[in-house]
Amino acid sequence: MDWTELKSEIYYTDGSLKDIYIQNTDIEDNEKWCEFANNNYEVNWFNGLKQINEDKIEFETV
């Protein structure tokens, strides 16, 4: 399978966001992911408890 076929069959654009499931992980893995995302990417995260947008993911809230 080449990129053209992958793009049209798997990664096609339909306007929705895709769910990604990563199996065999635990809470420490999730905390590492949050830390990685906060340190390496521009984050715009809606904190539902505070009802505000924040520039980092609060792992304790998630």
Residue 11 confidence class, pLDDT cut points 50, 70, 90: confident
Rounded to an integer, what distance in angstroms lies between the CA atom of residue 30 and that of residue 23?
12
Residue 53 three-state SS: strand
Residue range 27-51: mean pLDDT, rounded: 94
Residue 55 confidence class, pLDDT cut points 50, 70, 90: very high
Please list, in sequence order, all residues whose beta carbon lies within 8 angstroms of the beta carbon of residue 51, skipping any fewer than 6 positions away: none
Does the pLDDT of residue 12 top 80, yes or no? no
Rounded to an integer, what distance in angstroms lies between the CA atom of residue 62 and that of residue 58?
6
Query: Higher confidence at residue 28 or residue 21?
Result: 28
Phi, psi of 3 (to 5 degrees): -60, -40
**pLDDT digit string, tens, across residues 28-39:** 999 999 999 999
What token pair was written down for 18?
């895709």
Report pTM. 0.63
